[in-house]
A and B are shown apart, each in its own frame.
Chain A
Amino acid sequence: MNQVNENSSHSGSLKVEDLYFSFSEHSSSVVDILKGVTLEAQRGEITSIAGPSGCGKSTLLYLMGLLERPGSGKILMDNMEVQNLSDRKRTIARNQLIGFVFQFHFLIKELTALENVRLPLLKNGTDRTIANQISSELLDDLGLKNKVHRPAYKLSGGEQQRVAIARSLVNSPNYLLADEPTGNLDTQNSQAVFELLLLMAQKLNIAVVLVTHNENLAQQSDQEFRMLDGKIFT
């Protein structure tokens, strides 16, 4: 894979074209979830997707993040088609190009904040001292300076979500996929997380795709999409 990690002057994008996805759990009944979704999220911006529960927002994010394979259609990362990559390359891409933030923070509770954050770095072979340094600086930036060595389960909800964001950013990804990251947070914390994402998008030239129910946040984003029954609207 041709890694495009530097903050290039010509801003890249994460793009899907005519994406289809369906569940066929019982061989007879096929449920179509995505019915031809096309959208492009520019790096350096926040693209928000809103829509009723069950319309396929999460599914779209998992496809964009190479956690799942589409039925048909294209996924382009900085204009490179990635929907057909091998499992091995998808795993590497998730490690180096993509960051995920989920509604539930999904920290590993046996590890401290720092240990959670540095996982993607250690995974790609970064030296331990450097990984620790990058991770703790990032945690500092996110206002967790004195919680660095705290076990994950001893952090509050808002803190855990910030640790999860730090983990998604630590490998300086090109694309950040956030699935209702503020769904469990109060208004104040939600706004803080949003501003953090916005800051990171601009500072690190990341294409942030934000799925949210929060109308207020959706309106603050650079690009706003609505999703309904597996289709996308502007």
Chain B
Amino acid sequence: MLCLEIAWRFVIARKRPMILSLLGIVFGVSFFVITQAQTSGFEQFFIRTILGTNGAIRISDQFQDPLGTVQKSGKDGKVKFIFHSREDALYQEGVHQPDLVRVALMDYPEISGVSEIIEGTGILHTGSRKKTVQINGIRWVDHLQASDLNGQIIQGTIDQFASDQMGALLGSRIFSRLNIKVGDRIMLQGGTGTIHLRVCGVFETGVSQIDKNRIYLHMGNARSFLGHSAGGSIFQVALNKPELAPELSQQLQNVLNHRAVSWQEREKVWLDVFKALRVSSGITVSCILLLSGLGIFNVFAISVIEKTRDIAILRSIGFSQTDVSAIFLWQGAIILFAGILLGSFFAGLGTYLISIIPLRIRGIFSTDSFVVNWDLSHYLLASCIALIFVSVATWIPARRASRIEPAKIIRETI
């Protein structure tokens, strides 16, 4: 405590260099946290978007070489699902025996929603314009469980869609392209003929590929329009803990004998881009901390030289080498602690201010302001990096201070 007290007096007596050292840490910590909050904020937002649009796991085509029997290993080990397949089964588009698969999936406690989707294409006609679209036939109740469709609707409502047998939900870009209103009638043309639909709502995911191409129809309509009386569908699965998707999809693939793709695998390219962005900005900003570490090293090295006489006198009145180095390490600790506190404060403030900056982004997700992620781990990581640099920066001068020979200094002074 005595050493801390002396350290404190030394720190406040050298205001300018100490404040500069402090500012380095404050800047380093707050920049680190702010950049991490942004990059990981966009990353999280992107993940939320893809989970909300295409789910955590998608189960599609059956494998070409199916096993005769597969089992679902339920929690109690009793539940078994057996799939019979012909020995010479050929590649079959979509999920085989979807009703069985659906029941099997619902049995997993990790799975929070399962939506069967039948996919196909068609051409939308208004009076004057037409547009090729991807049809997604859904059971709306199921799909709401497995996606964020409800939150994505920007015009009309899901109830309108639910209550209209011939309802359709249109991607926002299709909607604006066709220049129509909610409630308008449109025609869908395709392989088996033409059906008449009513526009019940518009959704915007932010993912332009989807907003430009996708429409949702009721399952029955889609089936008859596409000419699949049964089968041919895929499954979109939502999880309670989306981060577990890779393990679960592997498990599902083995059990169901269908291809199951996790969102991490599906969106690998974008996720890698975000990760690279986050890591590289982290490294860049760590350089601020490295530089302030060098600054602190410089300040402390000078301080040890300035304080040689004080060190000699402290040694002569009974302070040990350890006490002397403690005095300098405490000075570093004071700067570090104050730096982390102030840095975290400014980081929080900066993150908040940035989150209210208007910024319109469409393409891979949809947002009208900066996206930030509030994560304690950013603060901890920044503090750890600061701790490492400051420790090294003060440890070396502190060691030098402890090795000062008091007799030599006193003799040279006289």
- A interface residues, Cβ below 8 angstroms from B: 58-59, 62, 65, 67-68, 87-88, 91-92, 94-96, 100, 102-104, 106-111, 119-120, 122-124, 167-168, 179-180
Give Cα distance in the complex from A120 to B413, angstroms: 22
Give Cα distance in the complex from A123 to B310, angstroms: 15
The answer to whether B411 touches A91, judged by C-beta atoms less than 8 angstroms apart, is no
Which of B315, B406, B407 counts the most chain A CB atoms within 10 A? B407
- B interface residues, Cβ below 8 angstroms from A: 2, 6, 9-10, 13, 309-310, 312-321, 323, 405-407, 410-411, 413-414
Q: Cβ of A106: which chain B residues have Cβ within 8 Å of it?
A: 309-310, 312-313, 410, 413
5 further A-B pairs in the complex, CB-CB below 8 A; given A58-B414, A123-B317: A68-B405, A91-B320, A96-B318, A109-B13, A167-B317
Q: Cβ of A168: which chain B residues have Cβ within 8 Å of it?
A: 317
Q: Cβ of A62: which chain B residues have Cβ within 8 Å of it?
A: 407, 410-411
Q: Which residue of A lies closest to B414 (CB)?
A: A103
Give Cα distance in the complex from A168 to B317, angstroms: 8
User: How many A-B Cβ pairs are below 8 Å?
Assistant: 71
Which of A96, A100, A103, A110 counts the most chain B CB atoms within 10 A? A110
Give Cα distance in the complex from A68 to B407, angstroms: 6
B74 to chain A minimum Cβ distance, whole angstroms, is 67
**Given A91-B318, A124-B318: A108 and B411 interface contact (C-beta under 8 Å):** no
The answer to whether A123 touches B319, judged by C-beta atoms less than 8 angstroms apart, is yes
The answer to whether A108 touches B317, judged by C-beta atoms less than 8 angstroms apart, is no
Could you list some 23 contacts between A and B, CB below 8 A?
A: A58-B414, A62-B411, A65-B316, A67-B316, A91-B318, A94-B316, A94-B317, A96-B318, A102-B410, A102-B413, A103-B414, A106-B310, A106-B312, A106-B413, A109-B13, A110-B9, A110-B10, A110-B13, A119-B314, A123-B2, A123-B317, A123-B319, A124-B318
Which of B315, B316, B405 counts the most chain A CB atoms within 10 A? B316
B10 to chain A minimum Cβ distance, whole angstroms, is 6
Instruction: Sort A-B residue pairs by CB-CB distance and give the 10 closest, nearest first.
Output: A95-B318, A110-B13, A106-B313, A67-B407, A68-B407, A62-B407, A110-B9, A120-B317, A91-B320, A94-B318
